Amino acid sequence: MKGDEIRSRFLKFMEGKGHLILPSASLVPQDDPSLLLIGAGMAPFKRYFTGQAKPPRHRIATSQKCVRTGDLENVGRTARHHTFFEMLGNFSFGDYFKSEAIPWAWEFLTEELGLPREKLWVSVYTDDDEAYEIWSKEIGVPAEHIVRLGKDTNFWEIGPGPCGPCSEIYIDLGPERGCGSATCGVGCDCDRYLEIWNLVFTQFDRDAEGNYTPLPKKNIDTGMGLERIASVLQGVPSNFDTDLLRPVIAAAENIAQVEYGRQTKTDVALKVIADHGRAIVYLIGDGVLPSNEGRGYVLRRLLRRAVRFGRLLGIAEPFLTRIAEAVVGVGRIGYPDLVEKEGYIKEVIAREEER
């Protein structure tokens, strides 16, 4: 199943469950000085969770563009780290809670996408017996496939704002993808148990000092990385091998005249260029310009980093506008505005790359 189809199937499924489908918000946060860039599906909706603003509907679903730079050094070295990615999510603002969010996630994965139940595992927050019971009694997940995990993995927060305990769904990709350690299991850092969906039970508001205040109403915030679920459905070893990224790697292979899949060092460079290429295109498309501070600095740094990895592959001439064309080619169905902005995006890239 292609990335575009997964995105539209998800949104349609959630529409069927009463959600209003909204287009992705801009990567540039609106009226939120606490965030540099949007890094999660829930980020544009923080005020709906806290009750400071009224949502157009109490159920919303989106595929949200996200940029995260915390894992920059890992990008290209692992199967699944990105600076830019898309997050599929359904949100309840004081409407439904665990008893709906859990069965719907299960239904979407097993019935709509057809993932084998016996390969799925779930985690719940240490003392969340309510979620445990739903997984075990209503869904019928066997006890050996439900693990209780602590605050480091099963409590979701991104700076100050709405947050809460979460329950994650994993797929076992098989021992051949594992680290082989005797303690390998859900929560292990290796590639065997891949976290595919995070269901957050958003019940608290965290302030800048780290105090947690219960929110007036209970909410749901879920997030499933589109590239990741695409890698599972397409049966490929990494997000970079999905139809969402492989064409961009192909463009880089073409320019550098190297082949993907031969040498680790070359592959890392190709992946970094593909990843950063996507981030650059979407950031510029959302109005960010290269500069020495804030968002503009993130963009400048990613662009220069992509150029540096291009040099490592032996590319001596400016090349990023050609990468941008591949990015727009992949994104045109999900983000038709990219096509309109393509000329502008390439101009900004060309000017900065020249500098």
Instruction: List residues near ligand SER by CB under 6 A.
Output: 40-42, 89, 156, 198, 200, 221-223
Q: Shortest Cβ distance from residue 223 to ligand SER (Å)?
A: 2
Structure tokens at 304: 């220069």
> Could you tell me the sign of the dihedral formed by the alpha carbons of 206, 211, 214, 218, in that order?
positive
Task: State which residue has the least CB distance to ligand SER.
Answer: 223
For residue 268, which amino acid is it?
Answer: V
Q: Shortest Cβ distance from residue 251 to ligand SER (Å)?
A: 29
Q: Shortest Cβ distance from residue 288 to ligand SER (Å)?
A: 21
Distance CA 219, CA 131 (A): 14
> Cα–chain-centroid distance for residue 126?
25
Contact 1, 10 (CB under 8 A): no
Distance CA 10, CA 2 (A): 12
Q: Shortest Cβ distance from residue 42 to ligand SER (Å)?
A: 5
Question: 161 or 310: whose CB is closer to ligand SER?
Answer: 161
Q: Shortest Cβ distance from residue 40 to ligand SER (Å)?
A: 4
Q: Shortest Cβ distance from residue 86 to ligand SER (Å)?
A: 12
Question: 160 or 296: whose CB is closer to ligand SER?
Answer: 160
Q: How far is CA 336 from CA 23, 56, 244, 330, in A?
A: 11, 24, 15, 11
Question: 75 or 249: whose CB is closer to ligand SER?
Answer: 75
Distance CA 61, CA 90 (A): 4
Question: Which residues, in sequence order, are CB contacts of 74 under 8 Å at separation 6+?
Answer: 81
Q: Shortest Cβ distance from residue 41 to ligand SER (Å)?
A: 5
Question: 24 or 222: whose CB is closer to ligand SER?
Answer: 222
Question: 66 or 306: whose CB is closer to ligand SER?
Answer: 66
Question: 42 or 323: whose CB is closer to ligand SER?
Answer: 42
Residue 44: burial class (beta carbons within 10 Å; 0-12, 13-18, 19+) = buried
Question: Which residues, in sequence order, are CB contacts of 36 under 8 Å at separation 6+?
Answer: 29, 294, 295, 298
Parallel, antiparallel or unpaired: strands 120-125 and 146-149: parallel
Question: 90 or 266: whose CB is closer to ligand SER?
Answer: 90
Q: How far is CA 121 from CA 100, 189, 196, 220, in A?
A: 18, 15, 10, 20
Question: 239 or 266: whose CB is closer to ligand SER?
Answer: 239
Residue 186: burial class (beta carbons within 10 Å; 0-12, 13-18, 19+) = buried
Question: 29 or 223: whose CB is closer to ligand SER?
Answer: 223
Q: Shortest Cβ distance from residue 126 to ligand SER (Å)?
A: 18
Q: Shortest Cβ distance from residue 330 to ligand SER (Å)?
A: 22
